[in-house]
Structure 1
């Protein structure tokens, strides 16, 4: 399994572990502040599949403890006449008998006195829901992020079958192309630069929409000695919706700045694929020119 896929899977696994923790912390704190059975509701929320437990809790949770004292911010109930934490008065009182009044009463149940309008206003405040928005965002965003990471991991190293044929050859020298002035001059100039990898390409476009692209590449690798062993493989690879033709070299000998190696590869595919070159698993930059004529292997020999 590739490193990128493994890393994405570990991230997704981490998100799967983080999401129940976030839900559990929120439910426990919220249930405890409302006087509900916090441990039980926490277990229901984190163990129920597909977030069903969280949804049930949000539906049935009690609204009694969403009120708070305006002085000390402690959770209170509508039945409280004073705050049990700081003693602040939370209800109006009857002007005749000083009985605590509910906001919906028109008359005092103790003495029958008419309740004035100002006594119907509650003195407590409604607590703001600060944690619910965050937990709902996490519930929505984290699953979407997990799906995206899984999709990217699968797409990163997915291979397809639109390449119909691949060919390659090595052990070629510059002198093999003496009869082709364009190629020969390019090879000599590129080799004398002693700088990196040079690529010349030729493409024969299909004559119809159903046809195939035929593309040749002549690759000059400066610094590769004649006895260096390379393994080359060409295939279409897909990474982040990008299709490309991959040529990979595996070096088994050292670097010699005065030597070079030439490789010829050709590919027939349903689409025009850009070339990417890798050496020992590392993507390499290269200098590229296009040829107006084919690059057959039998030139000059």
Structure 2
């Protein structure tokens, strides 16, 4: 897979791999995709989760295979010989997803991706992070982190990692969070609260965070209103890399620390974040490390 897009800086674009399960079209950020492989009969795993089809070993590593049709509550493939595996890496793990066909790769702007409303993602329980219309089709971008966390909860935020950081002195330094997942936004906020940070401003995407920063800047009190920004990378409207670039290119805002907290922290993405001026970059499961990094950046510990 080409890594060209990974090395570009703050373009607010991404590449989406379009694939099908049944008659429906879905998408995944190419930054999460390591390889696309033809279907091979997997080795079953006794007493595994129903969505785990089995395991295989394409190189020298055993990879779990997620039957995506099972997760989406759709019929299984009728022509398995032409099916594919999409081998992914995020949250520091490798997982393969069994899909029915791979359509191709599209380069799109985050501005073109619409966040699903509550009729689709009721109470944050849905599996769609965005919807985009391409070539007359609606492509649903799936929340692969949530799919894996539903199968194996320990791959999600490690909330237990902040147990030793609770019961600390309250801190009123304002922290701005940009995170499109309502569930993760709540969890991050709760973890920061438990760690002593009580002044949290939550936004749903980079554009909302940028608009808020500009409103504070225009009011002349941005440094009083935001001491630090924590941002995801993948978000509709404006991604975290674009937000980072805008902050660090702004004469007034550039001294505000920006911490990228994402499931996509790979070597290539870390290089991109460094080029954009991010003050720290952490993989999303490590919530304890996030709090400790905020402590160091803000000089509270």
Structure 1-normalised TM-score? Answer: 0.18
- Structure label with greater radius of gyration: 1
Higher relative contact order (CA 8 A, sep 6+): 2
- Report the TM-score when normalising by structure 2: 0.18
